[in-house]
């Protein structure tokens, strides 16, 4: 039985197969409409979510399967003190596969150790968010035609943003990638990441102003400031509007830049940017459904 805890749980070759499958699903959804008939996906969400939970559910429904679950810890037995290990043992009796989001780093991993069904980490605290990373990689591969050979700017809350940490980890396996980390000093990417890049001899730069690197970028990954992971509201309020991508700033960018965002957006991208063909964050949300469809099928071991 296989789980997904970290994007690196799949090799580059396995990811290519997964993305090929996702692209086939996009091209011919009807062919997969009954692939998971009789199967159930449990979504166990101990932390708020719109996209991740609903895209998992949409993915399973698109495959002809069914869904059950809870969307908030308060409405589960966690509020009575049940451990994730016990919860997953029980869920294993009800469902065939589980997507779990938890505010504590490592909780889905603990669940996977006791689970009788595949567990997918749908975000654990500030740690990892592997299915968002699969979504990001599929979006880049589908729209750029390749993974590798580009300069990517990651902008915003690089300290607490788990999507950023997961994406960097996954991208370093591709060749010729240069990272530009754009953040206020307080929200810099953690040292363990820059140390890892230095050790692997991967090029990166850290800048504060988005304007300073805009013309160099092939990809711009915007993120929101992660309010719920701040220790005090004052710091959040001071930093929340540090970056606002608008048309004026985008005018200095390449014509084939892609602007990605895992969403939800707060203020960091002005709505006037949404109509620019380089803004692909809503397309990205759609790729999130195809990649989760491919992942469910793969983890359940269902042949095409």
Active-site residue flag, 224: no
Figure out which of the listed residues 3, 39, 40, 129 binds ligand NCD, where binding follows CB under 6 A: 129
Residue of the chain from 67, 263, 291, 294 that contacts ligand NCD (CB under 6 A): 263
Is the Cβ–Cβ distance between 68 and 90 less than 8 Å? no
Q: Which of 132, 142, 183, 284 binds ligand NCD (CB under 6 A)?
A: 132
Candidate list 3, 101, 102, 159, residue with the active-site label:
101
Q: Which residue lies nearer to ligand NCD by CB, 51 or 178?
A: 51
Between 131 and 298, whose beta carbon lies closer to ligand NCD?
131
What stretches of the chain adopt beta strand conformation (E)?
Answer: 40-45, 66-70, 97-102, 119-124, 150-155, 177-182, 204-207, 219-222, 258-260
The H helix count followed by the E strand count for the chain is 10, 9
Part of the chain binding ligand NCD (CB under 6 A), chosen from 16-24, 37-45, 144-152, 260-268: 260-268
Site for ligand NCD in 187-226 (CB under 6 A): 223-224
Per-position DSSP letters for 126-194, written without gaps between them: TTB-HHHHHHHHHHHHHHHS-SSSEEEEEES-TTT-HHHHHHHHHHTTSSSEEEEEE--GGGPPPHHHH
Per CB under 6 A, does 249 bind ligand NCD? no
Q: Output the smallest distance, CB 265 to ligand NCD, in A.
A: 9
Subset of residues 52 to 81 that bind ligand NCD, contact rule: CB under 6 A = 52
Tell me which residues are annotated as active site. Answer: 51-52, 80, 101, 129
């Amino acid at each position: 039985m296989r789980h997904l805890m970290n994007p690196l749980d799949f090799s580059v070759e396995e990811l290519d197969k997964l993305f090929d499958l996702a692209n086939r699903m996009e091209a011919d959804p009807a062919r997969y409409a009954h692939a998971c008939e009789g199967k159930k996906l449990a979504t166990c969400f101990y932390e708020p979510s719109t996209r991740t939970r609903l895209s998992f559910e949409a993915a399973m429904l698109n495959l002809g399967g069914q869904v059950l679950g809870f969307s908030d810890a308060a409405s589960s037995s966690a509020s009575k003190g049940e451990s994730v290990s016990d919860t997953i043992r029980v869920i294993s009796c009800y469902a065939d596969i589980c997507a779990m989001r938890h505010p504590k780093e490592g909780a889905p991993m603990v669940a996977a150790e006791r689970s009788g069904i595949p567990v997918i980490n749908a975000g654990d605290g500030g740690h990892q968010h592997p299915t968002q990373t699969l979504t990001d990689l599929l979006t880049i591969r589908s729209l750029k035609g390749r993974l590798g050979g580009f300069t990517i700017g990651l902008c915003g809350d690089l300290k607490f943003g788990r999507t950023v940490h997961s994406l960097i980890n996954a991208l370093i396996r591709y060749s010729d990638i240069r990272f530009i980390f754009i953040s206020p000093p307080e929200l810099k990417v953690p040292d363990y990441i820059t140390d890892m890049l230095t050790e692997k001899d991967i090029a990166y730069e850290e800048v504060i102003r988005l304007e300073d690197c805009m013309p160099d970028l092939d990809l711009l990954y915007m993120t929101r400031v992660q309010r719920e992971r701040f220790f005090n509201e004052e710091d959040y309020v001071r930093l929340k509007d540090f970056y606002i991508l608008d048309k004026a700033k985008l005018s200095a960018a390449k014509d084939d830049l892609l602007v990605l965002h895992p969403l939800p957006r707060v203020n960091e991208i002005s709505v006037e940017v949404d109509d620019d063909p380089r803004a692909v964050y809503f397309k990205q949300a759609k790729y999130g459904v195809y990649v989760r469809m491919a992942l469910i099928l793969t983890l359940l071991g269902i042949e095409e």
